[in-house]
């Protein structure tokens, strides 16, 4: 794994593509957290997740890439858009999306990034992995999931069911026997 590390000065095509996709992901993530329009944040999130799916593809994790597209771009962003619409968010540009501690937040984020980048670059400078296509295909991953990871997989399905029921219970308003308030069903 650490033998014959190629130079950083002659990046391969895969690395160039990965870095471009990573730049797109980080840039659109920055736009997600800085944009002034709520709906645009969700749409930039789509771009970010799509670029990340491309990153997974370059890293030969095909199945994870397609799952990312299906679940994140397909389901999570749609859920978030539903949430935006249902909370009657202003569609246009709104000024109060950021709280007052933006400077502190930026400071903390920059400090986190600095510490982590320093540690990570120092620790993994010599790590090199030649990419071998097919290692993350659905066949390999499915065999692994259903041979080694069956028990966590089943536990996860129970967790999904619990989350589903929890979401239904939380969002219904006509369930009797809530907290002992005198008003029954505010609106």
Partner 1 sequence: MHIVYPVVVSVLLFSVGVYGVLARRNTILVLMSVELMLNAVNLNLVAFDVWLRDRLHSGQVLTLFVIVIAAAEVGLGLAIVLALFRNRRTVDIDHLRALAEPDGPAQPPPPSADGAPGASGAASTERGEGAL
Residue 55 — φ and ψ, nearest 5°?
Answer: -60, -45
| Nearest-angstrom CA–CA distance, 174 and 164 | 17
103 φ/ψ angles, rounded to the nearest 5 degrees: -65, -45
Cβ neighbors of 80 (< 8 A, separation 6 or more) are 42, 45
CB of 30 within 8 A of CB of 51? no
Contacts of 97 (CB under 8 A, 6+ apart): 36, 38
Nearer to partner 1, 127 or 176 (CB): 127
Structural tokens at position 85: 């619409």
Q: Closest CB to partner 1 among 6 and 91?
A: 6
Q: Tokens 């909370």 map to which residue?
A: 87
Task: Give whichever of 91 and 135 is closer to partner 1, judged by the CB atom.
Answer: 135
Q: Which is nearer to partner 1, 8 or 92 (CB)?
A: 8
Q: How far is the CB of 100 from partner 1 (least distance, A)?
A: 8
Q: Looking at beta carbons only, is 173 or 177 nearer to partner 1?
A: 173
Q: How far is the CB of 93 from partner 1 (least distance, A)?
A: 13
Q: How far is the CB of 3 from partner 1 (least distance, A)?
A: 13
| Integer Cα distance of 45 and 52 in angstroms | 10
Least distance in angstroms from the C-beta of 137 to partner 1? 10
* Contact between 146 and 153 (Cβ < 8 Å): yes
Smallest separation (angstroms) from partner 1 to the CB of 15: 6
Could you tell me the smallest distance in angstroms from the CB atom of residue 177 to partner 1? 15
């Amino acid at each position: 794994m650490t033998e014959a590390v190629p130079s950083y000065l002659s990046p391969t095509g895969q690395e160039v593509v990965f870095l471009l996709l990573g730049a797109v992901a980080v840039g659109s993530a920055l736009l997600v957290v800085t944009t002034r329009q709520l709906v645009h944040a969700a749409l930039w999130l789509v771009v970010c997740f799509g670029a990340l799916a491309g990153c997974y593809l370059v890293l030969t994790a095909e199945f994870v890439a397609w799952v990312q597209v299906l679940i994140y771009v397909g389901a999570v962003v749609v859920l978030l858009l539903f949430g935006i619409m249902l909370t009657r968010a202003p569609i246009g540009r709104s000024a109060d999306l950021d709280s007052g501690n933006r400077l502190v937040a930026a400071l903390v984020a920059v400090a986190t990034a600095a510490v982590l980048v320093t540690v990570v670059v120092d620790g993994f400078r010599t790590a090199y992995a030649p990419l071998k296509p097919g290692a993350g295909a659905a066949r390999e991953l499915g065999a692994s999931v259903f041979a080694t990871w069956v028990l966590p997989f089943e536990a996860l399905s129970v967790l999904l069911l619990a989350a589903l029921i929890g979401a239904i219970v939380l969002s219904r308003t006509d369930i009797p026997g809530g907290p002992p308030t005198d008003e029954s069903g505010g609106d």
